[in-house]
Amino acid sequence: MGNTVISLEERRNISAAQYFSSDGTAKLKAKTPFGTFNYDGTYFFNDLGQFCTNYPGIPLGPKEFCKYVTPLGDGRYEQSDGIVMVQFLEGEQLDKLE
């Protein structure tokens, strides 16, 4: 099994759902002002304690992202790049992205 995380980045008007399977694979569904995109990848924790994702199919820019994750105290978490994880769901629920 695994979990789906819904995240928001207000600065760039991006919302995303990421499914993290227990085997280390990941799926990303991102809604941007330019459309909705889906990518397959992996996730892991690096030696610095950062949470990392790698989506090789992303066409432009970096493919791997490593971020610190900090609890906000209200059930949400903020990544070091300003993305806020707002909802956590059991299983693969990428279709919950609005």
| CATH assignment of the domain containing 16 | 2.40.128.280
Q: Which two tokens stand for residue 67?
A: 């971020």
The answer to whether the CB of 5 falls within 8 A of the CB of 90 is: no
pLDDT of residue 60: 82
| Cβ atoms within 10 Å of 5's Cβ, excluding its own | 17
Domain extent for 8? 2-92
**pLDDT digit string, tens, across residues 6-55:** 999 988 899 999 999 999 999 999 999 999 999 999 999 999 999 999 99
What is the mean pLDDT of the segment spanning 60-71?
92
pLDDT of residue 61: 83
97 within some domain: no
